């Protein structure tokens, strides 16, 4: 695996087989089984998993039992299995938490592909090779089993089904998550991705999976989903209410961190040239279609906010003051949203400069809208008999003025506030294999 890549980028994905063969004794896959007081289920789980991998997995593998401070005979069972089976090892932690166990074991593993599964083996093991194959081939960065895919076959009670679907609906609506199943205990990740991603994940419990996936998706990493066959374990010891409460707290914490740009997600960027979208096409500006869509969405939302604020401020102020105040507030929010969502600038670097430039764009919009209101007043003065223009007329004029200013605002944002520094004047992307995007 490449290790000389700058901290600001990940190495380009490549097939792992050749590199793994050159490393004597190192497994290609390390499957972690986190356990807490599982003295009865641990041995059947490990024996079944080992048998399946021995028969079906074409590369070297390891099974790591991660004991989360068990108080029963689980540590002794794990130690005995490790002593008898060469491909099994045990790891003891003195604190509970599935996320803590995965972070600890994955951080110390020498395998290029890291996976985990629950000890109950609710997921059919035939999905294991499809889960890790895209990571071995270099196609994807992470892989997850999904119980909510259309072709999945799942046996579980209505209560768990409702909770699972409700939780994923919350993730989609609050964090804009696009993966279908956050909490299926069947996931894998490439080691070089884990080295960068895990230090950003704060949770040490059940929300660990969700936080890891949300950050990976926001960073633009590729997440492969595998439909699974899954049978609910009626003896599960998961406390649903407490877990749901912790998960909601985690959603709020991660959402706030993403909104404020507090996470250095640029460290998870792939080098240019590793993604077909990074290849220059003559005559086609990079990312233009996506930026137009993002700008339009942000523009519609900010226009609604602007109109609501204008109507509110108009109750106690004149049209010019109400227009200026509403436009100022909405402009700051608009610049921040376009910075992150439309032009993909992450982190806090350069945010003050971007806001200052955004205020210049705001001033242009203010001049256009204020000029429109002034022109409306002048027309009303010419026809003095008609009196002052109605509130509806003011809104109609402001909408027309904002639409006229939108095109100019987008061009200024794209060319001046958030220029794409990945291209030279000829349109070619310099240093395609190594140059990260300049977001400072």
Question: How many CB atoms are located within 10 Å of the residue 300 CB?
Answer: 11
DSSP 187-228: EEEEHHHHHHHGGG----STTHHHHHHHHHHHTT--EEEEE-
CA pair distance 13, 192, nearest whole angstrom: 10
Instruction: Phi first, then psi: give them for residue 308, nearest 5 degrees.
Output: -65, -45
Q: Is-contact 187 209, C-beta < 8 A?
A: yes
Name the active-site residue from 41, 67, 181, 209: 209
DSSP 410-435: HHHIIIIIS--TTS-TTS--TTTTTP
What are the helix (H) ranges across 72-207? 74-84, 98-108, 128-137, 158-174, 191-197
CA pair distance 327, 370, nearest whole angstrom: 10
Is 209 labeled as catalytic in the residue annotation? yes
CA pair distance 411, 232, nearest whole angstrom: 54
Number of H helices, E strands in the chain: 13, 9
List active site positions. 209
């Amino acid at each position: 695996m490449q290790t000389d890549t700058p901290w600001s980028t990940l190495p380009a994905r490549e097939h792992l087989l050749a590199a793994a063969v050159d490393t004597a004794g190192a497994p290609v896959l390390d499957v972690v089984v986190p356990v807490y007081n599982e003295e009865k289920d641990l041995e059947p789980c490990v024996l079944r998993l080992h048998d399946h991998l021995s028969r079906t997995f074409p590369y070297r593998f390891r099974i790591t039992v991660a004991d989360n401070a068990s108080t029963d005979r689980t540590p002794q069972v794990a130690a005995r299995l490790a002593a008898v089976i060469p491909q099994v090892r045990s790891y003891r932690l003195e604190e509970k938490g599935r996320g803590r166990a995965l972070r600890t074991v994955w951080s110390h593993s020498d395998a290029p592909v890291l996976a985990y599964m629950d000890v109950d083996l609710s997921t059919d093991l035939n999905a294991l090779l499809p889960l890790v194959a895209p990571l071995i081939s270099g196609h994807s960065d992470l892989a997850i089993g999904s119980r909510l895919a259309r072709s999945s076959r799942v046996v579980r009670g209505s209560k768990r089904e409702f909770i699972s679907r409700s939780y994923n609906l919350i993730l989609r609506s609050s964090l804009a998550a696009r993966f279908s199943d956050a909490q299926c205990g069947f996931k894998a990740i490439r080691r070089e991705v884990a080295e960068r991603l895990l230090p950003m994940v704060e949770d040490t419990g059940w929300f660990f999976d969700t936080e890891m996936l949300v950050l990976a998706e926001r960073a633009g990493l590729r997440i492969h989903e595998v439909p699974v066959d899954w049978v609910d374990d009626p003896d599960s010891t998961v406390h649903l209410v407490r877990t749901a409460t912790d998960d909601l707290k985690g959603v709020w914490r991660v959402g706030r961190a993403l909104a404020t740009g507090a996470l250095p997600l640029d460290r998870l960027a792939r080098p240019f040239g590793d993604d077909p979208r990074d290849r220059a096409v003559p005559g086609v500006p990079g990312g233009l279609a996506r930026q137009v869509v993002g700008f339009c969405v942000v523009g519609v939302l900010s226009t609604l906010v602007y109109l609501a604020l204008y109507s509110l401020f108009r109750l106690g102020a004149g049209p010019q003051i109400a227009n200026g105040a509403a436009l100022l507030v909405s402009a700051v929010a608009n610049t921040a949203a376009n910075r992150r969502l439309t032009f993909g600038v992450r982190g806090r670097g350069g945010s003050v400069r971007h806001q200052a430039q955004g205020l210049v764009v705001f001033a242009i919009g203010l001049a256009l809208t204020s000029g429109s209101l002034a022109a409306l007043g002048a027309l009303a003065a010419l026809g003095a008999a008609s009196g002052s223009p109605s509130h509806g007329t003011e809104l109609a004029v402001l909408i027309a003025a904002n639409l006229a200013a939108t095109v100019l605002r987008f061009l200024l944002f794209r060319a001046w506030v958030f220029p794409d520094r990945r291209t030279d004047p000829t349109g070619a992307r310099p240093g395609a294999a190594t140059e990260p995007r300049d977001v400072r």
